[in-house]
Amino acid sequence: MFNLPTAYLIVGLMYLVMPTVAWVVLSGLRSRAALLWCGGSALFGMGVVLLGLRAHIAEWAAYPLANGLMLLANLVRVQALHHELPQQPWPTQWLAGLGIAFVLGYEYLRLGLDNEMLRFLWTSSTLAASFFYISWLCGRIGQREHSHSAYWVAGAYLVVGSTVVLRSVTVGTGFSQPNALFGGWDSLLNVSSSLISSVVGSMGFIGIFLERARHSDMTAVAERAKQEENIRLSAQIAQLDRQRCLGQMSASLGHELNQPLTAILLNAQMAQHGLAHQRLDTPQLQELLRDIETHTQRAGQIIEHIRSFIRPVPVQNKPIELGPLVHDVKQLLACEARNAEVVFTFALPAAPVWVQGDGLQLSQIVLNVYRNAIQAMRDAPQPRQIMVTLAQQTNWVLLRICDTGPGFGPEALAQVCQPFFTTKADGLGLGLSISRAIAQRHGGTLEVYNHLQGGAQVELKLQAQN
């Protein structure tokens, strides 16, 4: 035979055990919402246990305390859900006021009017309203986070609230007794739904956090993949920009390469002619061979610089000495600078200045700035100078490149590093944009100003490598 007090004791114990399990699982998150939810469920379990022990305990514990604990439990769980939603939790005074109002109303109906029917309907309607509100809040969480677990919890409490309403209807219409321990089919349905909610509520709340963690991990993976793809595409764009720059510099580079090759040819011809007519002694021949070796090394350096800018290579993060780098890039533009009558001046510290990064990408920044300066000064009056200064300031390295050109107008200065903005008729507007992106990937900055004495000023700031 179905024993309702025993069933209430089982449900109460389940409401004590399941929140404990949930708290053990979620305690590492240090979540206030999890603490309130598990604490509220445990309070509800205490109230249900007192309800099951009604025949063996004092009236004040079996009636007002038991019902007050169940309502307080639901209010605490409502607070837990408020913490999971973008809205302010209810003030503690509100919770205390609602709890006191419920208990006073219950006691007035129990002791003042001594009306068991009204007392039962008062308790049932209040609990049903709180169950429905919990269900609605869980539904909002489910909709907001696309959480299946939240929808399961919402469904469980919707069922519990519906069974409480159904029992109130059966009692109100005379088909059942207002005694909570009356063993009718409606009471059995109410107990069964409460048992299900004790399991689904706790496990579902765990599921909300697990789904959130999984979603967070998936978002992090997607963001990481997006960043890697952006880096890959940025590297490809930078590579194309280097190739485009060298394509535009091909005539100058050809002329620059032609000089050591011509010198090699002349020295070789002189050596061949001298040997044929026996007019070369050993010291003269050695001098010619040293010249050939020197010019061969120079030609090899030019070719290696061109190859390093053209070929795609993996990003290499290693210590880079900036002093030699700014000089090496200048050599690539030596012919172009001579044709434009531009003179480089360098103010570099005696001690080496090191940064951590990719030498090829940092060279691309310097190349873009140098070329922009040379092109800006083609029609400028003399002197045409590019002044390069390098300084280390505690943990930062500052590379400043100034020219004596016309500088930037206010509108151009505001957009100079924006993609596809250019003041040149044949420009793409990507050089400085790519250069700034490279600087930012190296943890630095690239800023463009107008120099106080005229001309443009570009400052590259990077973290120093000790």
Domain extents in the chain? 4-225, 249-312, 319-466
Please state whether beta strands 385-393 and 343-347 pair in parallel, antiparallel, or not at all (unpaired): parallel
Per-residue model confidence as pLDDT tens digits over 107-140: 888 788 888 888 888 888 898 999 999 999 999 9
pLDDT score, position 129: 92
Say what percent of the chain tops pLDDT 70: 82
The number of residues in the chain equals 466
Looking at CATH, the fold of the domain delimited by 319-466 is given as: Heat Shock Protein 90 (3.30.565)
Question: In this structure, which amino acid lies at residue 148?
Answer: H
CA of 69: how far to CAs of 47, 97, 133, 379, in Å?
A: 5, 14, 17, 88
The confidence band for 1, taking pLDDT boundaries of 50, 70 and 90, is very low
Q: What number is the average pLDDT over the span 413-429?
A: 56
Contact 127, 70 (CB under 8 A): yes
User: Mind spelling out the 3-state secondary structure of 151-208?
Assistant: HHHHHHHHHHHHHHHHHHHHHHCCCCCCCCCCCCHHHHHHHHHHHHHHHHHHHHHHHH
Per-residue model confidence as pLDDT tens digits over 278-318: 777 777 777 777 777 776 876 676 666 556 555 555 556 78
Per-residue model confidence as pLDDT tens digits over 62-92: 878 888 888 888 898 889 888 888 877 888 8
Listed range (43-47, 132-136, 274-278, 422-426) with the worst mean pLDDT: 422-426
Strands, sheet with 396-403, edge to edge from the N-terminal-most edge strand: 343-347, 385-393, 396-403, 456-463, 445-450
* 53/56 Cα distance (integer angstroms): 5
Per-residue model confidence as pLDDT tens digits over 185-199: 777 777 888 878 878
| 454 compared with 216, residue with greater pLDDT | 454
Domain spanning 4-225: CATH 1.10.10: no
The confidence band for 9, taking pLDDT boundaries of 50, 70 and 90, is confident
Q: Reduce the DSSP state of residue 452 to 3 states and report it.
A: coil
Mean pLDDT of the chain: 79
Question: In this structure, which amino acid lies at residue 174?
Answer: G
